[in-house]
Structure 1
Amino acid sequence: MLAVTGLCVVSAPPALASDGPASDSPASGGAKFGLAASTECVFGGDVIKSTPWSLQRILLDQMWGQATGKGVTVAVIDTGVDSSNPQLSGAMAGAGKSFVDGAANKDIEGHGTRVAGIIAARPMKGTGFEGIAPNAKILSFRYTGGENKQGNAGTMSDAIRAAIAARADIINISSDTANKKSDSTLESAVTAAVNSGALVVAAAGNDGADGKSAKTYPAAYPGVLAVAASDRNDERAYFSQAGDFVDVAAPGVDMVSTVPKGGQCTADGTSFAAPYVAGVAALLKQKHPTWKAAQIATRIEETAQRPGRGPNRYIGWGVIDPVAALSDNSTPGFSPTPDPAVKTGSGGVVPMAVTMGESKAERERRTAVYVLGTGLVLVLVVAGSGVAVRDWRSRRVGRVGR
C-alpha cells in the first residue's frame, strides 16, 4: 500500500512546527521531523493581530454579504483537527472519526488544524484572521498522524468513504501519494466520492521547484479540483507542482491559520491553498444549494484571474477570485470554457505572458545583481568625487600662485 504525504512546506513535531522542507511528511511511515532554521511555531501560543494578506486581497464584506458557508459541511481528511483551538471549537460538525490511533479531534502534527482554520475558523477578538467560510462546519477524518501509527492510501481511502457516508458537501484532501504514484484503492474511493455528489478538492503538491510537469494523486484523478499555490503577486509559488492536471491556484505562501491548543502560525504549501478553495466552494454551495459539484468547480475556474484565455500547467485556469465567483449569478456549465478571443484591428489575438513566479535561486541571483550594481555605482561615485576634489585643489593652488 502506498504511503501518503502531507503537502505543506512545514514539518511539525508534536509540540513545535517550523518552516522547512516537507521531505519528512506526516504519513511517510514514522519519519522523524527535524526543526528547520527559520521561525518556530509554538502550539498554544499567541494569535497574529493583523489581517493576513490572503484575506486582504478580498473584499470581505462584499463576499460575506452573499454567503458565509452556513449549512455546509466540509470534511477535512488529514492529521486530525484540534477542536480545543477557540476559533475551531464552534466550527466542528461532530466527533468525526480516526483511522489511526487517537481521536479525530486531536492533532499532534498541526497540519489538519491549519487546514480546517483556513476553511472555517470563527472570528475572534484580537486577530484579523478568520476562515474563508466562517459559518461552515468541519468534520474531521484523521487518516494519519497517530501517536504510534501513520497512515497510507488505505487509511485515506477509508476516510474518504466515511466522509461520503456522512454526506459531506465538500471533501478537502491536502496530501498526496508518495513518489507521485496512483493507487487503485484510493482511486476507487475518490471516484465514489465524486459520484456521490461531493466536491473533492485536493492539493497539487510541493515538488514543483524544477518547473517540470508531473501528476500527483489524488489531485490528478478525474473529477477532483486540483489546487496549486500562488504568492502575493498572484503568481505560481516556486514550490507548487506543475502539470496539466492543475485546475486552479490559490494563496499558499505565508498562510496564517490555527494550530493545536490555541494560537496561530504561518506556513507555506499547496496544503493551505486547497482549503482556501474549499472555503470558497462552501460559500458557493450555500448560495446555490442546487448546483452540482462540477458546476461549483466550473464557476471557480471560469472566474479565476489568469494571464491567458485558457488554463496553463502552472496555475490552471488562474488564481481564484472569491468575490467574482460569488457575484456571478449566471448558471455555470459542468466544465470550464476558454475566454472569447480578444482581437486586434488586424484580426490577431493579443497574447499574454504566462507568469510562473520566482524560484529561490532566481531571487538570490536577482538580489546579487542588485548588490553588485549598487556597489559599482558607489565605486564610481567615490572615484568621481576624488577626481573632482583633485581638480578643485589644483585650481585653488593655481590661483594662489598667481
Structure 2
Amino acid sequence: MRHRHLPLLRTAVATVLLTAPVVLAPPSAAADSFSDQCEYPNDSYPGRPWSLQRVQLDELWSQSKGKGVRVAVIDTGVDVRNPQLKDAVDVKSGRNFLPKGLKDEDGEPIERGDENGTTDTVGHGTKVAGIIAARPTDETGFVGLAPEATIIPVQQNDAEGHGDTETLAESIRYAVQAKADVINISQDTSNAVEPDPDLKAAVDEALAREVVVVASAGNDGLGGNVKKTYPASYEGVLAVAASDRNNERASFSQSGDFVDVAAPGVDMISTVPRGGHCSDNGTSFSAPYVAGVAALIKAKHPTWTGRQIVAQIEQTAERTIAGHDRLVGWGVVDPVRALTEDDRPIETPRPQEGLARAEAPVAAEFPLGETADERNARLATYVAVGAAIVVVGLGGAAVAIRDARRRARSTEVRDGHGAT
C-alpha cells in the first residue's frame, strides 16, 4: 500500500492566494521594471527585499555567516545554474529520491532529473535554498541569511507530487548520513493525515543526532482553520508559520499548538532556476528563513545541541505575550537577537524573559502649591534681602550716630565761646 502523497506547499499557496495579487516589497525606483511573472530565468531583483530590510545584516553577520554548517534542503532540487547558488551547493553530496520510471497523465516518461539533486523544474527548492544561503552579488540586494552555509540538495518531490512519506523518510536518513546540521522540509502530508510511523522514526533519528529539523506549518489557515500538519507536528521539529510585514500571522498560515515560531512568508523574493529572482508566498519560504538562522547559531556555537539551538530561536523571537500562542508560536523570529542574546544555552524558552513590554508614559507633575525647590529658593531670597536690609540699616544707623556726635560737639564749642 502506497503512502499518502506529499504535495508541494507552492501548490497550496497557489490555491489559497489565487485571487490575491502578488505585491513586491517597496523597492528602489530602479526596481519598477521587475516582473512579477516568474519565468526561468527571470530578471534580477535590484532592491533589498522587505524580509531582509527588517534585519541589521551587518550586525548579524558580525556574529556569524554560517560558515561550515551544512543545511539539507529536501525539496524539488536546487538549480546550481543560478549564480548565487553555484558556490553554495555541495553537488557531490546531492541525491535524487524520486521514484524511477515516472510517467505523466498521458503515460509519457517524466524526466527524473540529475542524480545529485541539482535539477529543479518546479523552482520551489531553488527558492528555499536561496533564502538560506544565496551568495551576495552586486546585481541584487537579495542574499541568503547564512551566506557562507552549504546546501545539500535532496530532490524528493516534483510538480506532480510524486514524493511520498517513504521517499521523505529516506531523504531525511540520507541527509543525516551526509552530515547535515540542519534539515529544511517545506512540505507536508496530504489532508494533514498522520503518516506512516516510519516518517516519525526517521525524524527521531535525525533529532537524536542533534540535527535541527525545520518544517513549514502549512498554508490551510484561512478562516482560522486549525489542524496539525506533518512532519511539522512531530515533537522536536521546529514548526514555522508565516508572518507578514506587520509581524502578524499571514492569513493563509496554518495555526495550532504545534506552531513554534513564525517568520516572513509574504512576498518573499528568492532565487529561481537558471538565474534571477521571483516572488512567492507561503510557509514554504518561512521555514528556510528560520533554517538560515539555525545555521548561523550552529556556526557560532558548534557545541550547542539541536534542542538548545531551537530554544534560542524561540526565546529571542519577538512576541507580545508571555508565552506561546497558536498563531505565531513563541513569536516572529528575530535573527539579530538570536545571535546576540546568547550568553548561555537554554533547553526550553522562558515565557517571562525577553518579553518586550512597552512602558506607559509618565504624566508630568502638576503642583497645586509651591514645590520644595521653589520654597527653598523663596527662603534663600528672603535671607538675601534681609541681609541686605540689615547691612543698609546698620550703615544708615552708623551715619546717623556720626552726624549726631558732630552736632553735639559743635553745640559744646559754641556754648563754650559764649561763656568766655
Shared fold, TM over 0.5: yes
**How far 1:340 sits from its partner (Å)?**
5.1
Q: Do the aligned residues in 2 keep the contact of 1:7 with 1:22 (CA within 8 Å)?
A: no
Does 266-275 or 100-109 show the bigger shift?
100-109
CA spacing shift, 1:341–1:185, aligned 2, 3 Å: closer
Partner of 2:224: 211
Query: Does 2:113 align with 1:102?
Result: yes
Which residue of 4, 7, 24 maps to 1:5?
7
CA spacing shift, 1:259–1:35, aligned 2, 3 Å: farther
Query: Does 2:330 align with 1:317?
Result: yes
Letter in 1 for 2:152: L
Mapping 1:185-200, distance limit 5 Å: 185-200=198-213
Which residue of 245, 254, 275 maps to 1:232?
245
CA separation in 1, counterparts of 2:173 and 2:138?
Answer: 37
Partner of 1:391: none
CA separation in 1, counterparts of 2:15 and 2:133?
Answer: 26
**How far 1:45 sits from its partner (Å)?**
1.5
CA separation in 2, counterparts of 1:149 and 1:296?
Answer: 32
Q: Do the aligned residues in 2 keep the contact of 1:227 with 1:273 (CA within 8 Å)?
A: yes
Partner of 1:20: 14
Which residue of 255, 263, 275 maps to 2:276?
263
Which residue of 49, 58, 61 maps to 2:58?
61
Partner of 2:191: 179
CA separation in 1, counterparts of 2:345 and 2:151?
Answer: 26
Aligned Cα root-mean-square deviation (Å)? 2.2
Mapping 1:82-121, distance limit 5 Å: 82-95=79-92, 96-100=94-98, 101-103=112-114, 104-121=117-134
- Per-residue CA deviations over 1:112-166 (Å, capped at 9, x if unaligned) read 00000000000011200000000000001111117x8821111111111100111
Partner of 2:148: 135
Partner of 2:301: 288
Please give the secondary structure, in 1, of the residue aligned with 2:285. helix
CA spacing shift, 1:150–1:282, aligned 2, 3 Å: same
Mapping 1:335-354, distance limit 5 Å: 335-339=348-352
**How far 1:212 sits from its partner (Å)?**
2.8
Partner of 2:78: 81
CA spacing shift, 1:162–1:53, aligned 2, 3 Å: same
- Per-residue CA deviations over 1:183-238 (Å, capped at 9, x if unaligned) read 11211111111111100000000000121321100000011000000000000000
Q: Do the aligned residues in 2 keep the contact of 1:201 with 1:274 (CA within 8 Å)?
A: yes
Higher helix fraction: Structure 1 or Structure 2?
Answer: 2
Using the size of structure 1 for normalisation, the TM-score is 0.77
- Per-residue CA deviations over 1:308-330 (Å, capped at 9, x if unaligned) read 00010000000000000100132
CA separation in 1, counterparts of 2:290 and 2:354?
Answer: 27
CA spacing shift, 1:76–1:125, aligned 2, 3 Å: same
CA separation in 2, counterparts of 1:329 and 1:135?
Answer: 21
**How far 1:341 sits from its partner (Å)?**
11
Q: Do the aligned residues in 1 keep the contact of 2:242 with 2:282 (CA within 8 Å)?
A: yes
- Per-residue CA deviations over 1:165-194 (Å, capped at 9, x if unaligned) read 111000000000001011112111111111
- Per-residue CA deviations over 1:231-280 (Å, capped at 9, x if unaligned) read 00000000000000000000000000000011100000000000000000
CA separation in 1, counterparts of 2:194 and 2:350?
Answer: 28
CA separation in 2, counterparts of 1:279 and 1:341?
Answer: 22
**How far 1:20 sits from its partner (Å)?**
2.6
CA separation in 2, counterparts of 1:77 and 1:171?
Answer: 7
Structure 2 unpaired stretches of 5+: 23-35, 99-111, 360-420
Partner of 2:254: 241
Does 289-298 or 100-109 show the bigger shift?
100-109
- Per-residue CA deviations over 1:20-65 (Å, capped at 9, x if unaligned) read 3269xxxxxxxxxx99986421111211000000000001000001
Query: Does 2:253 align with 1:221?
Result: no
CA spacing shift, 1:73–1:207, aligned 2, 3 Å: same
Letter in 2 for 1:270: T
CA spacing shift, 1:232–1:3, aligned 2, 3 Å: same
Please give the secondary structure, in 1, of the residue aligned with 2:234. coil
Identity %: 52
CA separation in 1, counterparts of 2:327 and 2:212?
Answer: 22
Larger radius of gyration: 2
CA separation in 2, counterparts of 1:268 and 1:20?
Answer: 9
Letter in 2 for 1:4: L
Letter in 2 for 1:151: G
Please give the secondary structure, in 2, of the residue aligned with 1:278. helix
Partner of 1:165: 177
Higher strand fraction: Structure 1 or Structure 2?
Answer: 1
Letter in 2 for 1:206: N
Structure 1 unpaired stretches of 5+: 12-18, 24-33, 345-349, 351-402
Q: Do the aligned residues in 2 keep the contact of 1:73 with 1:136 (CA within 8 Å)?
A: yes
CA separation in 2, counterparts of 1:94 and 1:209?
Answer: 38
Query: Does 2:153 align with 1:155?
Result: no
Q: Do the aligned residues in 2 keep the contact of 1:6 with 1:22 (CA within 8 Å)?
A: no
CA spacing shift, 1:47–1:35, aligned 2, 3 Å: farther
Q: Do the aligned residues in 1 keep the contact of 2:75 with 2:186 (CA within 8 Å)?
A: yes
Please give the secondary structure, in 1, of the residue aligned with 2:308. helix
